[in-house]
Every structure is written in structure tokens, then in C-alpha cells.
Amino acid sequence: MPRRRPAGILRPVVLVTGASSGIGAASATALAQLGHTVIGASRRGTAPLGVHGLAMDVTDDDAVAAGLERVLGEHGRLDALVAGAGYGLSGPVETTPLDAARAQLETNFWGTVRVTRAALPALRAGPHGLVVVLSSLAGIFGIPFQAYYTASKFALEGWAEALAYEVEPLGVHVTLVEPGNIRTGFTDARRDAGEDAGSPYTAAHRGAVGIMVRDEREAAGPDVVARVIARAVTAGRPPRRATAGSLDERYAVLMRRLLPARAFERLGRRAMLER
């Protein structure tokens, strides 16, 4: 039986990865403002005001082990992990170099796995623990010309569901947060795998990325997601999944669940390729 998370720890300790920018920075700020002790990790190691910065590359085993050791050495325990470190990669499946595809999974999927594994002993040791996994709408349906990004988020969705069975009986909850488009540094940080001259995909790839960039730049800022994350961290019984997006995006999630695959793809084609 999953345990309810007892309230009452005076100053919970939370590690947020990806805290130098965007959703991670906004979440770290929101949690610090709620009185939590927050450690914000990233490769840069910079963190917002009130958050302890930690330089930790989630793709590096030694850096993650040293980072967790430092958190526990300095703060004595860990109550929640918000695994937000990640980036986007665009490119056609056929021509994206496998190294670029592997690197995408190495940060978004394996980086989350690496940090979660290192954090679990401390999360289990407390009266309650929580792992918040930054998924995406790309963890619910495929995004054209971002197949490897999509794969990284689908992988997180299945992995986190499986993880919940294992750790909830030990007092650790797991929450998947699924944002839609959000205005952050993500858009400029997106890597572009490009394509060869004369590629049959170029026009569609450029069109899809153009639509995505425009939607991200016009989207809500990261505070929308930070609020959802803060709610999960402070909840007595955090939800398994929490989406954060516009009305259109919530409608798309509902349609994904209700419609046959090809009918949904017709909507997806219109929204993501033909606008």
C-alpha cells in the first residue's frame, strides 16, 4: 500500500536538476519561496536567488555521485528530486546522426535515471520521498521531426510508471509532469541535426521546427509549470501525472486518449506540420 506523505518536515530538502534556466529555475525559485532548502543543479552550476547552485552534468556518473554526496554532506537528507535537466533535438529520423540521437537519450532519459538512482537511497531514508520527472506532451504523442526527443520522453513515461510500483511501497512517490509549449531557453538550446543537401525531408523539417519555435515563443512562461511542480512537492499524495499547458494542448491530450490513431494523426498533422 502506498504510504501517504506525512506533513510536518520543517524545511524539506529538494534537488532540482536543470535549475540554471527555464522550468527548473522557476521551480527552484517557487520551492525556495515556500521555505524549502533547494539545491539547483546544472552544468553551469548557476541558480536563482535563494537556491544553492551545484555544477553537475547529469550525463557524468562521477559528477552525479559527487553531487549527491555534496547535497547529503551539506544538508543531511533529501526529500524530493525534480529531474528537469534536458534539451530538444530536431531532425528527420532517417538522417539524424546516431551519435546525436544517443546524446539526446543520454541527457533526457539516462540523465534522469542516473540522478534518480543516486537519490533513491536518501529519498527512501526519510519519512517520505518524491521523484518529479519532467516529461512533456512529447511523452504522450509523437512530435514530427523530434522523434528522438519524443523517444526520450516516452521512455521516461514508461520508466517512471514502472518505478512507482517499486518505490511507493517504500514511501517514495513518483510524479510525471507533462508541460506543453513553454517559453524558456529550451527553444534556443534545441539542437538541429540538419540534413544532407537534396534531402526529401528539408522543407517539412524546416516547416515543423518553424511552427514549434513560434508556438514556444508565444507560450506561457515557466511559472505555470513551476506551480504544478510546487503543488506536487507539497501534496500529501502527489499525482502520478500532471499536465501543464494551454486549453488546446489539454484538448490534444484528451483527443489522443479518445481517437483512433489515424484520426488523431490528422489533427496532429494540421497542428504541427501544416499551419
Ligand X SMILES: NC(=O)c1ccc[n+]([C@@H]2O[C@H](COP(=O)([O-])OP(=O)(O)OC[C@H]3O[C@@H](n4cnc5c(N)ncnc54)[C@H](OP(=O)(O)O)[C@@H]3O)[C@@H](O)[C@H]2O)c1
Binding site for ligand X (CB under 6 A): 17-24, 42-44, 57-59, 84-87, 107, 111, 134, 136, 179, 181-182, 184-186, 189, 216, 222
For residue 153, indicate whether it is catalytic. Answer: yes
Q: What are the grid coordinates assigned to 27, written together? A: 521551480
Q: Which of 42, 135, 136, 152 is catalytic?
A: 135
Least distance from ligand X to the Cβ atom of residue 254, Å: 18
Q: 10 Å Cβ neighbour count for 134?
A: 26
CA distance 19 to 44: 9
Least distance from ligand X to the Cβ atom of residue 199, Å: 26
Tell me which residue has its CB nearest to ligand X: 22
Nearer to ligand X, 202 or 246 (CB): 246
CA distance 236 to 233: 9
For residue 149, indicate whether it is catalytic. Answer: yes
For residue 135, indicate whether it is catalytic. Answer: yes
The number of CA neighbours under 13 Å toward the Cβ of 39 is: 25
Q: Which of 21, 42, 152, 153 is catalytic?
A: 153
- Measured CA to CA in angstroms, residue 87 lies from 91, 93, 152 at distances of 14, 17, 10
Q: Which residues pair with 52 in a beta bridge?
A: 39
Q: Which of 21, 27, 90, 149 is catalytic?
A: 149
Q: Which residue has the cell 544532407?
A: 196
Least distance from ligand X to the Cβ atom of residue 64, Å: 9
Nearer to ligand X, 40 or 92 (CB): 40
**Any idea which residues carry the catalytic annotation?**
20, 135, 149, 153
